Every structure is written in structure tokens, then in C-alpha cells.
Chains A and B, each alone.
Chain A
Amino acid sequence: MKLLTLNFLTCARKACKTSAASFPLHPREAELEQVELDMNPQFIRNVLPRVEWEAMRSISQELGLPSLPDTAPGPEELADAEGGPTQILKDLHTLLMETTIASGKLLCANCGHEYAIKEGIANFLLPSHLV
């Protein structure tokens, strides 16, 4: 599962949705993998305003990745004078699209429930007593 996807996920339990503590989910025992992918500057540009930067920062920190700047890069920082990709854009691509959690767990800080990730695929199905 790519780190960008974590930005769109919260606890699957309805009771947790309104609690701020249910986002972001916290990776546990995460086995990271770098998967090389073609860069898609247009997509990064479109999706960046939809990224909760604070959450991305804390997830990176929890995973022991290099620390991110305090605020999200602006659109003008993604392309150089010739319109080519900047280092900032390349770093975002590496972080959001190429860094994946191959296996581990995602913990909801509100209810303590853990969701398993196996072979890069997270499982959000709940037992009946948590539905």
C-alpha cells in the first residue's frame, strides 16, 4: 500500500469516523518497500492540495523516513523555470507513490483496532461486534 493511500484512509468503524484520533491510521510493524515507478507530475500537482500535510509528516516520522518540511510545497515549487521536475517534485513522487507498506498493521488510535496489510493489500473488514 502506497503512503499516498494512507492519506485517504481512516478507521472503518462508524463510531470512530467523527473522532479526530481515527486519522491518520498508524503503521505498526511496517515492512517498507521502494517500488520504482514512472513519475506523473500532473497527478502529483492535482493531488497535492488534497493531501493532509500534517498527517503525512507524522506518518513519515513514525516510519523513520527523512523528515518533511513544515508546510506542503506549493504548486510553483514543483516545476523549474523550464517546466522540468524539481527535486521537491521527485521527492514527493518517491514518498507518495514509490514508498509502499508491503506488510504490517494499521492502528486506529481512537478504538485501538488494527487492520492487517499483507502483500501490499490492506484488509478493512470488521467482525460483527465492531460493525
Chain B
Amino acid sequence: MSCAETLQSPFCIVRLDSTASAKVLLSRCILATGIYELLGHGDTYDALRDDVLSRSSRQLSQYRKLPFRFTLDCFQGTRSTRKQREIIESFGYLNLEGQISMKNAELDLWILEDYSLDTTKPKHSSEPKHLYLGRFLGSSGRKVVPVYDLKKRKYISTTSMDSELALVTANLALAVPGKLIYDPFTGTGSFPVACAHFGATVIGSDIDGRSIRGSKGRNVFSNFQQYGLEALYLDSFISDLTNTPLRKRRWLDGIVCDPPYGVREGLKVLGSPKPELQKEVRLKDGRIAHLQSDYIPPKRAYSFEAMLDDILDSAAAMLVDEGRLCMWMPTANDEDVELAIPAHPALEITSVCVQSFNKWSRRLLTYRRLPNCDIDQTAVRRRRELTSGATADELNSFRRKAS
């Protein structure tokens, strides 16, 4: 996300210990498409060919006898077939001795042309601004994105998280086999499904029982069945984050969530302040109201910022050392006032990703649970107690104007 945004390019050069770790890394990557060993780069083809000689002669001599092929990639640009052949043939100077083989190439060479991502300019008029020669190592995990596409999922709602972003979130949460990951606002279960895709066992809860139970056999669990992930589904239960039954022990490897956004959605928690509800309520016929099967517990408005603080508190209390909290939040509230990134002494921010829309944007925050010995004991936990006030509007007073 941020990478392509700041670099204005779909390419990124990284330094890794080995080609083996490059392949492993990419197999988990959702946002990249492939990874190549860099053999050379330059602004012109002459510069590229020189760079390949000076940088990679030794590597290439190892590959010289392998069956090989060339591919030209001109993403966002166009080349005629004749021009393509001309470009590829200009690499004859490498004197590769192996067979040319489209099917069984062991040396898979790619010429990558980097065109401007400026979509306002017409395609064909622009020349590539940079060129790379790479040896293809492996493709990414991106091919699973359409597998989890919400359009093909049997049980979704208007707030289900897009499959690509849910998979990215699961990556940032370090979901792997053996781990246990929790979503306190599980809704239709998009995050737990994505974490289970990477092999983690998952548990979720939501204040709205209907979202978990679904209807007509379509529910959170049936989504796991649809993808053959039942064995990784621990449970879902109905609960309010501010009155959670979960034990405050260090038993979770990760927490992933997209909390309800205060003002517009009318964020609610348990506990109506009405005086007549402060003692056990009896129905007209004398039965106890809350013991009836159709009982709906009364709720009250709550502040979004207090909810974010509650999430950080539970993450600090329940994550193991190095466990991750991944949380989505809007960048600004409905009045366009920027929301501060919440902080906790036991949690260190490891990344902030921004997704921009036309009129608003949201952030994906990732925190790392610090081992207790690394926590700054002098840091004061600043809680935003906003408990008086009746409506969500009154409770959500924001301090900083967005710039």
C-alpha cells in the first residue's frame, strides 16, 4: 500500500539473505505479484545492458548452460510484437548457451519496464522511465485473493471486509499454523476466515447474535465450511467488548478487528442508564425479563475513542509477548476531525497503512505486545473516560482538526 504510493512505481528493490527466503516471503505476500533476482537496471537499454555485465557476470556464468526464456513485461505501457522481439534480441550479447525453451526454462529471465503510473497521460505516448533485468524466483500468494472474493462467499453483510484486505491484515497479524487469533467484532467472520487460510486457529465474538447465527444455514461457521477450514474454527460467541467474558490472561497470539465506527453506526455497549433498569425487571406476568429466550439486553451509546482504548487494554492483557493487534480505524470522524492513533505502554506500533477513498480514508494499525521487561514503567496510561452524555455525538468529542 504505502510502498507503491510513495515510490510511484510498481517495483521495489529489496535485499534478502537468499533466494530461498525470497521465495518463502513472496509465497505469503498478498500485495506483490512476483519476485526476481535483480541482474541489472538502468534508465535506458544501453545502461541496463552495461549494468547487467558489471553487476551479474558471475551469476550469469552459473546459469549460462541452462535452458532459458525471455519475457518482456510492459505493465501500463505498450510495445508492438516487432519491438518486443527487437528488445529481447538485444540481450543476445549475454551469449547464453542453453536451449531456448518456453516450457522447461530453468533460467526464467524477465525484462521489466517501469512506466509512469500517472494515469492522466495516454499510455502509448510514454517511454518507460526505468528498466530492469531479473531472474524470476517465484510468484506471490496473491492468487488466493479471488478464492476468498466476497462475491463468491455464501454469508456476508454490508460490513464484511474485502478479501484482499482481510488477507493483508492476517499477514500483519502473523497468522501461521498453531497460533490462536481472536476477532472481538467478528460480524460475518472475514478476518477469522483470512487468518485460518494461513493456518491459524481462530475465535470470534460479536454483540449481535444474529451476525454469528446468520439464517437459513448461512452463518459464520458455514463460511469456514465453504473453504474447508472447519478444523481451524474454535468458536464464536455473543458478547460486548466492554463486558467480555474472556479471561485476562496472556493466551492469544493475535487480535484482528474492524471496530464499529462511532457516530454514524451509533456505537453501542451493554447497560442502559435508565433508572427503572437498574434492578431485575419483571414482566407483567411476573416472569424475570432477562431469562426469556427473546430477551434483548438494553444498550447505551459509547465513545469510539473509549472503545479503541478498551481494545488496546484487552490486547495488552491477553496477547502473548510479540503477539500482534491489527485494528482498522477511520482517519477522521464524520466532522472531518482527525482521530489520534491510540497508544498503550505495553504495545508498540509496528505499521500504519492507509487506505484512501474519495471522501475519506482509514488506517490499518498494527501493534506488537512488548515483553514486560521492555515496557516503559514510567509511561502513564492515559484513558479517555467519556462516560457521561447520552448520545454518541455527545460522547465523541475529538481534539485535533484534520490538516
A residues whose Cβ falls under 8 Å from a Cβ of B: 1-2, 4-5, 8-14, 17, 23, 25, 37-40, 42-43, 45-47, 50, 97, 115-116, 119-131
18 intermolecular pairs with C-beta atoms under 8 Å apart: A4-B234, A5-B234, A5-B237, A8-B251, A13-B243, A14-B243, A23-B247, A40-B178, A47-B201, A97-B231, A97-B234, A119-B213, A121-B209, A121-B213, A125-B209, A126-B243, A127-B280, A128-B298
CB distance from B85 to the nearest CB of A (A): 51
Cross-chain contact of A50 among B245, B249, B281, B297 (Cβ < 8 A) = B249
B236 touches A121 (CB 8 A): yes
CB under 8 Å from chain A, chain B span 350-377: none
B238 touches A124 (CB 8 A): yes
A131 touches B177 (CB 8 A): no
A46 touches B180 (CB 8 A): yes
CA distance A17 to B278 in the complex (A): 20
Q: Does B248 contact A (CB under 8 A)?
A: yes
CA distance A106 to B91 in the complex (A): 72
- Max chain A C-beta neighbours (<10 A), residue from B249, B274, B289: B249
Number of B positions contacting A (CB below 8 A): 47
- Max chain A C-beta neighbours (<10 A), residue from B235, B251, B253, B280: B235
Given contacts A9-B245, A129-B278, contact A1 B239 (CB under 8 A): no
Residues in B with CB closer than 8 Å to A115 are 245
CA distance A130 to B201 in the complex (A): 32
A122 touches B230 (CB 8 A): no
B245 touches A12 (CB 8 A): yes
Q: Chain A residue with minimal CB distance to B213? A: A121
Residues in B with CB closer than 8 Å to A47 are 180, 201, 251
Q: Does B271 contact A (CB under 8 A)?
A: yes
Residues in A with CB closer than 8 Å to B245 are 9-12, 25, 115, 124
- Max chain B C-beta neighbours (<10 A), residue from A25, A38, A47: A47
Residues in A with CB closer than 8 Å to B232 are 40
Q: Chain A residue with minimal CB distance to B272? A: A128
Residues in A with CB closer than 8 Å to B212 are 121
Cross-chain contact of B270 among A37, A121, A131 (Cβ < 8 A) = A131
- Max chain B C-beta neighbours (<10 A), residue from A17, A38, A131: A131
Q: Does B325 contact A (CB under 8 A)?
A: no
A40 touches B201 (CB 8 A): yes
Given contacts A42-B178, A128-B271, contact A2 B234 (CB under 8 A): yes
Residues in A with CB closer than 8 Å to B213 are 119, 121
A127 touches B237 (CB 8 A): no
Cross-chain contact of B247 among A8, A38, A45 (Cβ < 8 A) = A8
- Max chain A C-beta neighbours (<10 A), residue from B201, B205, B298: B201
CB distance from A95 to the nearest CB of B (A): 14
CA distance A45 to B180 in the complex (A): 12
Q: Does B290 contact A (CB under 8 A)?
A: yes
